[in-house]
Each structure stands twice: as structure tokens, then as C-alpha cells.
Structure 1
Amino acid sequence: MSGRPEILFPLFAGLTKLDGIGPKTAQTLEHAGVVTPRDMLMTLPVSGVDRHRRASIRDVVPPAVATVEVTIGEHHPPRTRGRPYRVHVEDAQSSFQLVFFHARGDYLQKLLPTGQRRIVSGKVEIFDGIAQIVHPDHVVPVAEAEDIPAFEPVYPLHAGITQKAMWKATRSALTDAPGLAEWIDPNLKKREGWPDWHAAMALAHAPQATSDLSPHAQARARLAYDELLAHQLTLALARAASRRATGVASAPTGVLSNKVLAALPYKPTNAQTRAISEIAADLKTPLKMNRLLQGDVGSGKTLVALMALLGVVEAGGQGVMMAPTEILARQHLDGLRPLAENAGITLEVLTGRDKGAARAAKLKALAWGDIHILVGTHAVFQKDIVFNDLRLAVIDEQHRFGVAQRMELGAKGRAVDVLVMTATPIPRSLALAQYGDMDVSVLDEKPPGRPPVQTALVSIARMDEVVEKLRKAVADGRQAYWVCPLVEESEVVDMTAAEERFKRLRATLGEGVVGLVHGQMPPADKDAAMARFVAGETKVLVATTVIEVGVNVPNASIMMVEHADRFGLAQLHQLRGRVGRGTAASTCLLLYQSPLSESGRRRLEILRETEDGFAISEEDLAMRGAGDVIGTAQSGLPRFRIADLERQAAQMAVAQTDARALLADDPKLESDRGQAARTLLWLMEQDKAIRLISVG
């Protein structure tokens, strides 16, 4: 796979090779992310303008675009500065004016010579009872009428680039573009009635009607599928490569895990049992496991993770459980330790806080294999940390952890089996886009004995009532979270919002009852404030969203979210999951500012109606779009130019199946279709994938 195939060279040449693009325009386009003719082709029109010829402007209802043949009459230059220049014209049935501001008279005389005929196209408006077109979009001699398309595509624009320039450049890119061998499965292509790649590009850039701009139009659907297929091929290649990396077969014996299961006060759910056996089956094979454990808040992921870790310990290896923050690492430790004691194994924690002799002692025990399971933060990645026989890494709350870090983990031992846990139910299409290189286990049931959380919507205007109710609840020995939103990403303002609320609640509820946690506090203070709340010393914890992930305080049974209308659905669902962890009936109050927008009200009502995280996430995706649901910046989500993850979710699943099937038949992509698929990867700039084939 030495380099880019020659057939694609024209698509990756400089932009100045295209008609009408000089060095300056090329620079502007580059700033907008259009660097090659290929990028130009992947920039599809966003709308279109109907410019088919009419006999007269009478055929349209102003304001509307009309394209008509006119005879040019008198010119009326402005008498005073700042007034417009007017040219009188007549079509077959009526007369109107062409209006120009700041125009040079000599230029207009040349463009519109009195007595001659021209085709003009532009927006007809009525001003003071007179029909006019201000700055027509097109003025051409009758012989060149063909230059005005009947349905003109409108491109997304950037300052300094005109529609005309985009039109010319895209035509020129199409002329240079080669025909490419087909990489789509022939049966699929036939079933969908999709055109070839080049034909699809040509059609997408020359829409004949608004319906051709829909993501479901055949040409566009095909081009979107090309992007999804390239993405899923890359993930499938990564999956194949990571599975080839020989892992270690760890055959769980059940000796330890059975002890833990026997000591549990309840039976695992069917979903937990299924996930445990899927993981055990992966551990037994010498192929490297790369599995995502997706479970809603409170679905019992910790137990599944522990069973996996015990499985490798039974087989003589070690396991590590990684959390994104120190608080969460310690919490995992507290959750796992009593269970691990039933099995009689050694569990330790390692975070950035371990220093000096204590740290050295832990490192020694790890290297000797005396610690069976290590719980920690990213600190376990440091160079001096050596395991005796690391076989499984469990990673909690994955989106802060991309594919690159997953690879790095493999370097800690022989190809370590990886289990990633996420408490964010992600809609299937996004899960495929983000984790398509992984196999997925889903926990979609809740363990018995968890009371549902009552969710209510309350206007902020009723704040005094709310605080009074809270005072009574605290007097009854209940604990509550009070979450304040991040205001406009400004940490300073966010701090003040939380601090203000803290002061007010402290004044009402009394000294020592209320604690405060926000992003600007030193980590040690944050941990101390959390610890006081966990111990039940403080009854109310005022916090910004730092508590969203994973904090476990079974006695906390009230969740107040101030300005709930400013949070995303998934975030609110996560926050609500912080209560209802004990036996007490729990409440979540969503305080909102009236009046609520239509979508704001819809969001809060969905939460009131359901506790099913998967249903909530599908709704969230429909309302907000993919980037927002995962938070695009750190999501590792691909940025597609044509494909639309929300509308083409079903295609993503087809692409995954197709990509995996192609690689199963042709692992090195050597067949005709395999070679075409390589061209597709080059075309979509999936260099990583190309490296994976050449390594393979």
C-alpha cells in the first residue's frame, strides 16, 4: 500500500488547477477546510434557486426570483451621492427597473447597452409600486443563456467567495474527476438503485429540483454511504488488527466469582448474566478482547466488571480498573473491596496522590503479582508502573478516553483484553460511529429493589417553597444534591452561581449543613467536601456538574437541578441517576425559568415521562444532533462532509455489517472489490486504515 493510487491524483491536486480559483480564493477556501478538488466535490449544495426562463416577471409573485429576456432601455445615473443607479428594461409583457448601488457607470454601460437584449435573473421586489431587481445575480447575452442553470445549486459560502466561483470550480472539479471502480456491495447497490460514484457526484452538484437536495435522494444517499463505509472499514480494520494482536487466553474457573455471587443479597439480572458470559467467552480466546459494556445508570455495571476481573485472576493474571477521577477511583475501590474480600483476593488503589515509600511499596507488590486487581486513574499509565501479568483493563466512563489511549494500554502487557464501561446510553447509530471497532454488551435491565425516582418540574418563581420543603427533608435526616448550571462556559461565573446558592442555602438551613463543590476548587478541597457529604456530615451538597459522573451516596434521595432548561437531556438523566441508589423513595426536582421554549419544555417532559436512558438518548439525538449528544470536541466522532448521523443512522449499521463481511472474505483487500475499497480509503483520507492494511 505504498502511496495514493495514481487515478486519484487529479482529486488531490492544488485548488488553483480549478477554473476561476486564483491563489487568493484558494487561501480563503483553505481556511474553510477546502484544500483539494476532492474537498470541493465533497462540498455539496445546501439549497437551490429556480431560475428556469419565464416570458415575463408577471409570472412570479414578488418577492421571488425570475429569469427573463429583456430589452434594455434608458440608464438613469444617480443625481446625488449615495443614490442608486437605475436601468429601465422591458420583458415580453411588462417593464421594470434594474437597480445598482455604488456601481460605476462605464461598467454598467458595457454590461447593459441600451437597445440590446439580455437575459437577467434575480429577485423581483416591489418598491413604491414599481417592480425592480436590485443587483441581478446574472446578466448574459441571449446567446449565452445556457450559462444560467434552470435550477441553480447554492453552496455553503465563506466570506470572499461567490456562488459563481463555486459553480465554476465544482464543474471544473467534476470534469477532472476520474471514474472509479465500485467498492459498494453489488446487491446493495442494485437494491438501493444507486448510481456509480462519478455519476452520483455529477447529479449531486446539478440538482434539478429541491427533492434532489434531500439526504434520501439516490445520489446523495450513495455519497453518504461511501463516507460511512470508509469509516466503518477503518474501524473494522482496527478491530481486525487488535484481534490479531495475540492476547492471552484466560480461562475463568468460577472459583472466585462463585464466592462473590453466593454472598450477594440478590440475583444478577438476565442482562448482567448475559454480559458476564459474553465477556467470559472473549477472555477464553487468544484473540484480544475489545468490548464496550453499555449500561444505564444503576444497571449494575460494577458487578459485571468485577466478574471479568475475577475471571483473569482465576486464570493466574492481573486486572486493572481505571476511572477518570480520583474520587471515582476511590469509589470503585469502596464498591469492589467488600466483594473482593468474599473472594479473598488483594485489591489496591493507585492515584496521583500516592507518593514516596507508599507508592514504591505498591509498585513492588504489583510487579511481584501480590496485588491481583489495581484500581486507579490515568496515573497507571506512568512508565515506572510494571505489572507481573496484566491481562484485563476495565476503563470506566469512556468518552474521556479515545482510541489512541486504548492502543497505549495494550503496550502495558501483552495485548491486554479491554472492557470499556459507559453509563451514557448512546443511540445505536452513534455507538457504531464511535465504537464500531468494538463488540458491544448492553445492560438494559435494572437490578431489583431500586425504587423509581419521582421527577417533577417546578418554576424557579416558587424557589421559596422549594427551599422550605428542603429544610423539612433535611430535618428528617435526608440528604440532597443541588446542582447549578455552568453559565456560558465561564468558570468564574459558574463559581459565583454555585457560591451564591451555597450562601443563600446556608443562611436558611444553618452552618455546617451545606457543602460546596465546583470546578475551580483545588482537588484536595473538592475531595474533602465530597467526603463530608458521603459521611453524612453535610446534608446538602451544592455543586456544578462535577458530580455528574458516578458519585455514589446511597443516603442522598433528593436531586435539585437549578435552571434545568440549560442542561442537555443526557446530562439531566445522568444527574438524576445520582439519587435512588438507596432504599428511600427519591425525588428529582427540575427547576426551570419561565417561559420555557418549545424544545426546552419537550426535553423536561421526556425526563418526567421515562427513566429509560436509551429512549432518552434517541430523543436527545433527534433534538440536538450528534455532536452535542457526545460533545464533539472529545467524542472521537468522525466529522462527515456529506453523511448525516441523525438522518442516516440505519445506513451506519448496514455499513458496519458490510465492512466486516468484506474483511472476513478478503482480509488484505486484494480482490477487485477489495482494491476498489482501498481506493475509497485513500479518497476519504483514512490514512490510519491504510497503515493498518499495510501492517497486516
Structure 2
Amino acid sequence: MSLALTDSVATLKGVGQKRQDALRELGIFTIEDLLTYYPFRYEDLGARLPSETLDGEKVTFKGIVSTPAIVRRYGKRSQTVLGLLIDRENIRVTFFNQPWVAKNIEVGQEVAVYGTYNAAKAALTAIKLVPASTNVLDPIYPATKSVKAKTIADLIEQAWGLFRGQLPNLVPSTLREKYRLLDKNQQVEWTHFPKDSAEAKAGRRSAAFEEFFIFQMRLQLLKQADQSFGGQPLQYQQAAVDQLIQALPYQLTAAQDRVVGEILADQAAPRHMNRLLQGDVGSGKTVVASIAMYAAVTAGCQAAMMAPTEILAQQHAKSLAKLFDQAGIDLRVELLTSGLKASQRRQILADLEAGEIDIVVGTHALVQDDVFFHHLGLAVIDEQHRFGVKQRSKLREGGMNPDILAMTATPIPRTLSITAYGEMEVSIIDELPAGRKQIITSQLSERQFDQALALVKAELAKGAQAYVVTPLIEESETLDVRNVTEVYQSLQADLPDYTVGLLHGRLPKEDKDTLMQGFKENQIQVLVATTVVEVGVDVPNASIMLILDADRFGLAQLHQLRGRVGRGDRQSYTVLVADPKTEYGKERLNALVETTDGFELAQKDLELRGAGDILGTKQSGMPEFQVGDPVKDLTMLTIAQQEALALVRQSGWDQEEDNQALVAYLSQTMAQFRHFD
């Protein structure tokens, strides 16, 4: 029976149902999956002398067995001890729970042993005997309790014996030549069975590029499919849009002006828009979105804006209505949330379907089954990563297939924008509005809390307001951190002349909304809160953000919290109170003190925390790459993106002989490819 690369691993010897299930947990379904399941590191089995080896280092010693192997047993456990003569030095070698070693060696025999060296005792805690035929580097594979790394290595060796030289090249020959990449078969052989570190490095380099390139090809094809999804050009009225821009109470920044141009060009084009608008907190994304929505309205369409919370939806609806009113533009903006009375909701739904509402702002209530638009031309989604693909596609299923403009205040470093948002066009507002004052950030220790409180009192005395943020709601026996209830009670005593509010995630929604509204209207001067204020209402009068136990927060989260202040004319401050115990904690807080640039901080966060955890795996949509590291290999990732884009733009690229293996592979896998979100 002839086997194919697409056959199940169950066709290999030694793979029963239990082992097949275990391999599936590692993403290994087919023989091809197995052959491209690469090691994550290598153990150096090259022999060295004890004098060249550091204490505690893993090493291979080669020498002559100088004493008989003695096995000592302790119940079910055992110790096998022997002497190894290496260049006139005798080393004591101990194997734990490997009594069979004694049967395989004898005095006078030359052996190689891999283990951990104890320099003080001139002893080696042995891990394994190294056969003479073994390569210098031993590949180590990601494994689980259900399937050991050695089992994976044995299965790969078996599969390679069956398919050596038969793997198709997915990376076109032009790119392999251009970037000095290995042929696929050589790539697989050198990655799994390297003779030395140079082969292992070359194999992994080629495998990483292939991984990035295939991923980018899929994203480019997704983007093409999205743009061909029946997009309609919006014939907006340029004069009316210009009138709105001129009527704004401030001039657009150069960055806002550039981004508006990019979005309007997309709206006028005969293809579907799928654009991500990135901008730091306070950079003016909402006014850009309002211009885009008004453009859709002048084209005879409706616009919708989705926000992650009701309070944010309310804020957007009010600010939009005010903006158009001040500009002398007569259009109808309505709010649609789950908190509406049934009669109000029915009326808004009817008016929305009849086309009497120009712009609707809401939460997930906008994507319910009973919501119908008359002609939806643009959907703006605030805080993009908080909505899934299904919720975004639900807007399209209304039959209108509107343009999509997603917005996020979470600065996304280039690595993530290339991967997690690679199928979207990206616009960046990298400039704050004129006159906006930089937020002064400082760090104090717990012993200096009184200084932080004095700064809060000084700002309150000027008529400003303050946020005080803490990580926990109630006392914890395991974490020595201030809890929000304790801080609230303490500040009530310390600030008797001011109203102090308490806000946390366990409060009923109505209470949260009431508190935030009270804070916005300055009925509450100090808001003690957990991170529920991270994405909150705009309170221009708030000038100080005091964050307790700041080392307990992520860097991106701290930057988001800092963005709650500095929204008005007042000089604003963020004070981080913490005694970080680790270098990571210290670096994080130092980075926040040194810069207010969200994109710079996001890149720093990526370097400190690693790609998979930058926004939280589920939120960021960061794909997991097995070989390539999108942080360390950013240049390679960028090149892979550029080459994939260049290839799909070539007319008839999928008909060329050199690309047929790639086309076949993409056809097989695109159906299973998950749209990261």
C-alpha cells in the first residue's frame, strides 16, 4: 500500500488510537504535519573535557570505563555508578533508575555519556549514553505527558525514511534563490537531523521563512476575498464633508488629515473596505470616524457605530449628536442598547429599517437578529479586538455588506499588525492634537504613599478630579496588595471635604453607570476603581491617575489607565505606587515613566512579554508560530509579507508551474485556516 503525505499518522507503525489522540493535541494529524513538527531546541552532544565545562552545565563526556558499573537498589529506585577516565582525570558517573546501563558497558570500553556536570565533586549525573553514530546535535521536540519527545523523534525518523526526497517545495524557487533558502527536503533533513549547528541554523531559517510566507499568503488571499465581496463605491458629497471638517472647533492634525484621506478613498473605491484605525488614547480617532460616517450619510446610506460597553456607546452618541449640531448639520443620531425600554427599542428598530435614522450607535444590541437597516454603508467598530469575527460578519449578513472601519486605542506594534491584522488595511494616527499637554508620569515606593496623596490633595484643591486604581476588589491572603474597598474607606477618611466613589466589576451595571455619570458631572471628585475604568468615559476635568501596586498591571494596561487623564486643558499626572520585586516589573514601570508614546511602549511590552501574550492570546489574535519568532525575526516576517503581497498581485500567479505545490497546499488548508481575531 502506497502512503501519501496527507495520510493520517495512524498509518505509521506504533500509532494506535491513544497515540493518535495524543499527537492530535500537538496539532499533528497527517504525516506532513509530523515531518514539519520541528524541534524547539537542540542538545549539544559534542564531547568536551571536564576542564572546558562549567559547573551545572549539560555536557557529553567521552572516555574509558575505569571501574565496573555497580547497581544499588532502593525499593523501586536504583543508582548505577561507574568511573570514567577522561584525559587522565577520573569522573564519577551516576545513572538514576537506569539499571540496564550496567549490562551494556564493561571496563576498558570507550563510551560517551550525556548529563549534568558537578565541578566541585568531579561528578556527572548522567541522562543517557550517547551512541557513537549519533549526530552532534540532539533535537528536542515540544511534547506532553501523553506523548514523549523521544516517541515523536522516532516517528519522525520512521516517516522520513518513507518520504525522504518527496516533499514538495511550497516556497517558489525564485524566492529560495533570492534569500538563499534550502530546498524543502534539505530543510526538513537539516532541521531534524543536523550534523552540526550550521545545518540546524540553516534548516530553521528556511523553515521560519516558509512558515511566515504561508501565513502571509493566506492573509493576502483572505484580503482579496474580502475586497471582492460585493463592495459598493459610496458616492459621497465632497463639499458637504469639507464643510463638516471646516466647522470643527479645532483643526485636524496632519495625521488625522492623512487618515481621513485614506478612509474616504476606500469608501469611494469599488471594493469592500476593511480598515483598522490605530491611535493612542486621545489622538482623535472618534472625530475621524464621524467624518467617515457623515460621508456615508451624504451618499444616501446609514452608518453604525459599535462600542464595547453601554456607557461608551452613550458617550459616542452624545458627542456625535453635539458635533453635527455645532456644525449646523441636520441628521438623526440614535442610541440602541439592551437597556432601552421595549417600546423605545421597537420604535428605533422600525425607524432604522425605514431609513429615518442616519447614524445608530450601540453595543452588541446592533447585531441582534431583529435589527435591520434600510441601507447600511459603514460600520465603525470601537475597540476592535473586543468583537469577534462572527459579530462583525453579522453586520454584513444584513444584506448591505457595509464598509468596516475598526478602531483601537491599544497601540499595536508592527509585529502584531503584520500578523493579527494582516488581512486589514491599517491607518495610524501617530500625532496628538495641538495643545495637548504631555502627562507627567512618576513612580513612588509604598513608603512614599503620603507624597502621592499630597499630589492628589493639591489637584483637588485646584478643582480637578482624581482616579485611584487598585488591582483587587477584596483582601487576598496570597497577594500583599491594597484592595479597592480598603483604599476607598481610607480615602474617605483622608479626604473628608470631597466625595469619594467606589467602582468595581461586581457592581450592578446600573450602579456603574450612575457612578461614572456622577464622576463625569463632578458630583464625585475621587473615583476609587479597579481596571473597569481602563476603557471608560471622557472626563476632561480629571487630572491625576494614582495607580496602587502598579507592578501588578501589564504595560499596555497601565498605558490605557494613564490615558484616562490628560483629556482637558489641565496639566495631568500619573503616579505609579509600587515596589517591584523582579527585573521585569522594574523595566515595565521604567518604560512607562520614560515615554508616553503608546507604540514605543507596545513594542517594549512585546519584547518583555513575548508575542503570544501581548494583548492576551484571545484578544490579540496573535497566531502561534512553531519555528519563527515574530519579535526576533521581524525583518523576515516583513519580507515574507512583502513577497506574499507581490506574488498575489501578479496576474496568473496561480497558473505558473513553479507555484503549483503552493496553490495545492493553500487550496487544501484555507478551509481550515482560522481568521485570527
Query: What TM-score results when the alignment is normalised by the length of structure 1?
Result: 0.88
Relative to 1, partners in 2 of residues 1:389 and 1:83: Cα closer, same or farther, differing over 3 Å? closer
Q: Take 1:619 and 1:111, find their aligned partners in 2: how far apart are those partners?
A: 53
Between stretches 566-575 and 380-389, larger displacement belongs to 566-575
What are the within-5 Å matches in structure 2 for residues 644-655 of structure 1? 644-655=629-640
Correspondence 1:137 to 2:137: no
Q: Distance in 2 between matches of 1:53 and 1:602?
A: 39
1:12-65 superposed Cα distances (whole Å, 9 cap, x missing partner): 4225715x66665555444444444444334333333333457x8777676652
Shift of 1:412: 1.9
Asked whether 1:47 is paired with 2:38, we answer: no
Q: Distance in 2 between matches of 1:419 and 1:304?
A: 10
Mapped to 2, the partners of 1:413 and 1:289 lie a distance apart of: 16
Q: Alignment partner for residue 330 of structure 1, among 314, 323, 332?
A: 314
Q: Choose from 467, 485, 490 the match for 2:453.
A: 467
The alpha-carbon deviation at position 601 of structure 1 amounts to 2.5
Partner of 1:175: 161
Structure 2, gaps ≥5 residues long: none
Output the CA distance in 1 between the equivalents of 2:382 and 2:422: 18
Matched, 1:315 2:309: no
Report deviation, 1:86. Answer: 3.2
Q: Greater relative contact order (Cα 8 A, min sep 6): structure 1 or 2?
A: 1
In the alignment, the residues of structure 1 paired with residue 130 and residue 258 of structure 2 have an alpha-carbon distance, to the nearest angstrom, of 69
- For 1:248-263, list aligned pairs within 5 A: 248-263=232-247
Q: 3-state SS of the aligned residue for 1:10?
A: coil
Aligned to 2:444: 458
Partner of 1:9: 4
2:259 to 257, 271, 275: 275
Structure 1 residues 533, 624: closer, same or farther in 2, change over 3 A? same
**1:179 alignment partner AA:** Q
Change (3 A) 1:464 1:173: same
Residue 190 of structure 1: which of 171, 174, 177 is its match? 177
Question: Is the 1:483–1:542 Cα contact (8 Å) retained in structure 2?
Answer: yes
> How far has the Cα of 1:494 moved from its partner?
12
User: Which amino acid counterpart does residue 333 of structure 1 have in structure 2?
Assistant: A
Identify the residue that residue 207 of structure 1 maps to in structure 2: 194
Shift of 1:676: 2.0
Please report how far the alpha carbon of residue 395 of structure 1 lies from its aligned counterpart in structure 2 after TM superposition.
0.5
CA contact (8 A) 1:248 1:414 kept: no
- Select which of 508, 513, 527 maps to 2:494: 508
Residue correspondence of structure 1 range 346-425 to structure 2 within 5 A? 346-425=332-411
- For residues 668-696 of structure 1, the C-alpha deviation after alignment (integer angstroms, 9 at most, x for no partner) is 8333244222344368x4434699xxxxx
Aligned residues of 1:289 and 1:418 also touching (Cα < 8 A): yes
Q: 1:673 to 1:128 in 2, by over 3 A?
A: closer
**Native 8 Å contact 2:233 2:268 kept in 1:** yes
Deviations 1:345-366 (A, max 9, x none): 1100100111311111111111
Structure 1: which 5+ residue stretches go unaligned? 1-5, 692-696
> 1:652 deviation in Å?
2.5
Q: Do the aligned residues in 2 keep the contact of 1:560 with 1:591 (CA within 8 Å)?
A: yes
Aligned residue number for residue 465 of structure 2: 479
Separation in structure 2 between the aligned mates of residue 611 and residue 380 of structure 1, nearest angstrom: 35
Pick aligned residue for 1:636 from 621, 625, 635: 621
1:172 deviates by: 2.1
Q: Distance in 1 between matches of 2:350 and 2:73?
A: 92
Which position in structure 1 is the counterpart of 2:571?
585
Take 1:267 and 1:60, find their aligned partners in 2: how far apart are those partners?
A: 67
The one of 635, 643, 649 equivalent to 1:664 is: 649
Rounded Cα–Cα distance in structure 2 between residues aligned with 1:620 and 1:182: 36
Selected match of 2:114 from 122, 140, 144: 122
Question: Is residue 2:671 matched to residue 1:687?
Answer: yes
Equivalent of 1:548 in 528, 534, 540: 534
- Contact kept, 8 Å, 1:48 with 1:154, in 2: the verdict is yes
Rate the CA distance shift 1:49–1:434 in 2: closer, same or farther, 3 A.
closer
Aligned to 2:219: 235
Taking the aligned partners of 2:269 and 2:427, their CA distance within structure 1 comes to 17
Kindly provide the amino acid, as one letter, of the partner of residue 273 in structure 2. Answer: M
Is 1:65–2:20 an aligned residue pair?
no
CA-CA distance at 1:205 after TM superposition: 1.5
2:81 corresponds in structure 1 to 86
SS in 2 for 1:480: strand
Name the counterpart of 1:694: none
Specify the alignment match of 1:304 in structure 2.
Answer: 288
Q: 2 CA distance for matches of 1:258 and 1:180?
A: 58
Q: Which 10-residue stretch deviates more, 36-45 or 524-533?
A: 36-45
SS at match of 2:614: helix
2:104 paired with 1:111: yes
TM-superposed deviation, 1:289: 0.8
8 Å Cα contact 1:484/1:563 also seen in 2: yes
- 1:452-473 Cα deviation digits (max 9, x unpaired): 2111111121112322332332
Deviation, structure 1 residue 98: 4.4
For residue 135 of structure 2, the aligned residue among 124, 138, 149 is: 149
Structure 1 CA distance for aligned equivalents of residues 633 and 73 of structure 2: 57
What is the percentage of aligned positions where both structures have the same residue? 37
Using the TM superposition, name which of 306-315 and 643-652 deviates more: 643-652
Question: CA–CA distance in 2 between the matches of 1:249 and 1:525?
Answer: 44
**Counterpart code for 1:14:** V
Please point out which of 416, 421, 433 is paired with 1:430: 416
Distance 1:125 1:639, change over 3 A: closer
Which one is further off, 260-269 or 341-350? 260-269
Counterpart amino acid of 1:579?
Answer: V
Label 1:351 to 1:118 Cα distance change in 2 as closer, same or farther (>3 A).
Answer: same
- Whether the 8 Å CA contact 2:338–2:365 is kept in 1: the answer is yes
Once residues 491 and 61 of structure 1 are traced to their aligned partners in structure 2, the CA distance between those partners, rounded to angstroms, is 41
Out of 173-182 and 471-480, give the one that drifted further. 173-182
SS at match of 2:411: coil
Q: Which moved more, 1:347-356 or 1:179-188?
A: 179-188
Q: CA contact under 8 A between 1:369 and 1:388: conserved in structure 2?
A: yes
Equivalent residues of 2:276, 2:427 under 8 A apart:
yes
> Residue 3 of structure 1 corresponds to which residue in structure 2?
none
| Aligned match of 1:539 | 525
- Check whether the contact 2:321–2:333 (CA below 8 A) recurs between aligned residues: yes
Deviation at 1:80, TM superposition (A): 7.4
Contact 2:482 2:549 in 1 (8 A): no
Distance 1:591 1:92, change over 3 A: closer
| Corresponding residue for residue 560 of structure 1 | 546
Query: In 2, distance between residues paired with 1:241 and 1:494?
Result: 52
Amino acid at match of 2:206: R
Alpha-carbon offset, residue 239 of structure 1:
1.3
Tell whether 2:619 aligns with 1:627. no
For 2:73 and 2:169, how far apart are their aligned partners in 1?
A: 64
Letter aligned with residue 416 of structure 2: L
Residue deviations 1:473-511, cap 9 Å, x none? 223311011111258999999998111111111121138
TM-aligned CA deviation for residue 414 of structure 1: 2.1
